[in-house]
Amino acid sequence: MSTAADKDTIIRDLMGFMKTEFPDTGIELTPSTDLLSDWLIDSLGIISTTLFLEEHFGVNVTRADIKAENYQTIENLSNFICKRLSGK
Amino acid sequence: MLFSGATCSVDKQLENNRHTRWGLVLAVLAVLLLYAYLFTHIADSFAIPRPAELAKQIGIDIKYVFDRDSNVGTDLHVIYTPPNKRDDQRLILFAIVAGAFLCAYFLPLAYKRPSLVLWFLVAILIIYGIRASAGLLFAHLLIYLSFHPPPLKRSIWQGLLPGALACLAFMEKQASWLWLLLLLLIFSAISLLLVRYLLLPLLQHERAAKIIRTLFVQSALIVVFISAIVEGLQGQTWTLPLGILLFFWHWERLIMYHVDFKDGLVPNDTSLPTYLSIFFSPGGLPNGNWGPSIGLGYNYTQSRFLSVDKNKLIVSGLKLWGIALLYLVFADWFRFLIVGVFNDTGIPVFSGHLKTMSCAYVGSSDISSISVLMTTLLDLMRWLMMWGAIVHFKVGVWRMCGYDIDPFFNKPWLATNLVSFWPRFTFHYREFLVRAFYYPVFFRFFKKHTKTRVVFATVVAVGFGNMIWGHLTEGMFYDGMRFQNFGNVLETWPYFLFLTAGIALTELYLLQKKSRRKPWTRDRYFAMDVLCSYLTLQFFALIHIFAWPCQTATQGDNWLLFLKAFGI
């Protein structure tokens, strides 16, 4: 994924990953779905999501980044990726 | 979700506290009364037949349910109480839970959690006495001071209190009142000096503060190691004061509190009552040594209080208590029913006890593969039901007290691989291992090599963390601070080896596999789910040959018995 990837592409890729990795949660996935309450079920869900972020978008994730502010929703995740890709 | 940063807002809590449903309140009290009737001697107080007598009167003849005193035999109890007093202690437990529930339900929001702390302390005082209560409070006060040091000017009572509590915790039982008063004054004065002129100044230096916090939080492990070495060298066994032992059982949660603190999730100005409300909750009273990680650290407990409607919590709690009751009453009956089926078909399963089978094997009985497989599986079933019953009851108590705590146990027989088995079997403990061991390693080492990274983090969490921080210390708390007990746990290394390898390989497989299919979907792969579920349970059951062997079994015996399962 190039650093020029726009936010819509990031959101689309994240949605695709979430639906594949955590199938049939019984909840409709939108960019504002609360992933922490309804989707990622436990801490290993965070690990597989992190691996996806690192491998697919090429961003470096540290332990300090594992917080609700970044992982709460697809929207938050995409903001986090955009920030990292733009070098902030 | 476990790291959901945001604490539930007061407005949200007030909203979730609005409606009173008397029917639910009465249902909770009725279920507790039923528990008391089945598991204590309360029937005698009301001059009504005991459960076994009642069953006989109405023509129910069911084996393996009632014990010798005509009520239902159970593993639900309060730890460190003599077996012959467990019925009485259980009655106190149910009464305390009822009182805590009523306060958590009816009191204004601001008083709910302090009332839970009080109920917990009342229970500890009644059950264990003043020395144990003082010891527990003393240890927690030191932790509190190390994490939330007060300004020097406002440190007088926080300086005096640890000394006073230590005096009460360690005093001679027969001390006179005058002597006690004098000791209280001396201990408090020394404590004040130590806190004001040593602890608090040291805590102002970041590095010293980090070391002190780590030492305090890891005190259980440190004591376990030192005591084992002392016993090994001198033959002198340490006996820990009860209050300190009770405190040590909080240590997984303390480690999580520390992790939350390091992650910036614990406010520096956390008050002592708020701190105590994290650890002193009635949910920790039943079987305090089972699932001690339930409730985890600061963030989880804080964010879960009244985060959903209190009546919804009660309904879900009642469901858990109902399932627990079924397990508690009928588990043995069900197990022996299956044992009987195997016996009828000529497959010895040693009453479904792995240890019995191991002893029989050491005693040179020839055992077939199917016997090994089925006995280990039945043994797993036995303690899954026992375990499920207790942790369901515990989580139920948390929910009755207003906390939306995740179930510790969630149908582990539906897991189709080892990775999904663990959170279903022991959710909070798995979360403890992940946050305390897996994350720190995963985010630090081998970042460019995904497979190595996952395997290494798994080895550290499932092997090292689980063995040292889980089983080793617990083994010492159970069996005493002896070098031999230390060695006994270390000798179970093949169990940890197989578990680590199993989980690591499953993780690697799952990372490669990209399937949208949800397990147990009724399609052509359904039979595969059944097979995977069986294999998962069988694997986990089988490796316990190394964890729970016969006392006289050697490591070689364990390996040979293990290999028997594969027809070798």
SS (H, E, C) B296-329: CCHHHHHHHECCCCHHHHHHHHHHHHHHHHHHHH
Does the beta carbon of A27 lie under 8 angstroms from any beta carbon of chain B?
Answer: no
> pLDDT by residue for chain B (568 residues), tens digit each?
455 556 788 999 999 998 889 999 999 999 999 999 999 999 999 999 999 999 999 988 888 899 888 999 899 999 998 888 889 999 999 999 999 999 999 999 999 999 999 999 999 999 999 999 999 999 999 999 999 999 887 788 889 999 999 999 988 777 788 888 999 999 999 999 999 999 999 999 999 999 999 999 999 889 888 888 888 888 888 888 899 999 999 999 999 999 999 988 899 999 999 999 999 999 999 999 899 999 999 999 999 999 999 999 999 999 999 999 999 999 999 999 999 999 999 999 999 999 999 999 998 778 999 999 999 999 999 989 999 999 999 999 999 999 999 999 999 999 999 998 988 999 999 989 998 999 999 999 998 888 999 999 999 999 999 998 888 888 877 777 788 888 888 899 999 999 999 999 998 888 887 666 778 888 899 999 999 999 999 999 999 999 999 989 999 999 999 999 998 8
**CATH number of the structural domain spanning residue A63:** 1.10.1200.10
- B365 CB-side CA count, 13 A: 15
Closest CA to B553 of B384, B365, B375, B370: B365
Closest CA to A51 of B428, B417, B508: B508
For testing contact with chain A, the best of B441, B443, B508, B520 (most A CBs within 10 A): B443
Please name the residues in contact with B191: beta carbons below 8 A apart, sequence gap of 6 or more.
Answer: B159, B160, B161, B162, B163, B164, B166
Contact B5 A67 (CB under 8 A): yes
Instruction: Show residues of chain B in contact with A54, CB under 8 Å.
Output: 447
Instruction: Show residues of chain B in contact with A44, CB under 8 Å.
Output: 419, 423, 434
Does the beta carbon of A46 lie under 8 angstroms from any beta carbon of chain B?
Answer: yes
pLDDT at B447: 86
Number of domains comprising chain A: 1
pLDDT at B471: 87
Distance (Å) from the alpha carbon of B438 to chain A's nearest alpha carbon: 9
Judge whether A1 lies within some domain. no
Separation in Å, CA B398 to CA B113, B118, B258, B366: 12, 15, 22, 48
Kindly identify which residue of chain A lies nearest to residue B307, measuring between CA atoms.
A37
Does the beta carbon of A37 lie under 8 angstroms from any beta carbon of chain B?
Answer: yes
pLDDT at A4: 45
Please name the residues in contact with B430: beta carbons below 8 A apart, sequence gap of 6 or more.
Answer: A42, B422, B423
Which of the four pLDDT bands, split at 50, 70 and 90, describes residue A3? Answer: very low
pLDDT at B29: 98
Which of the four pLDDT bands, split at 50, 70 and 90, describes residue A21? Answer: confident
pLDDT at B68: 86
Report DSSP letters for B498-523, one per residue.
HHHHHHHHHHHHHHH----PPTT-SS
Helix (H, G, I), strand (E, B) or coil at B481: strand
Could you say which of A42, A64, A68 has the minimum Cβ distance to residue B6?
Answer: A68
Does the beta carbon of A26 lie under 8 angstroms from any beta carbon of chain B?
Answer: no
Boundaries of domain holding A12? 7-85
ipTM of this predicted complex?
A: 0.84
Tell which wins on pLDDT, B198 or A66: B198
Instruction: Show residues of chain B in contact with A60, CB under 8 Å.
Output: 447
Judge whether A2 lies within some domain. no
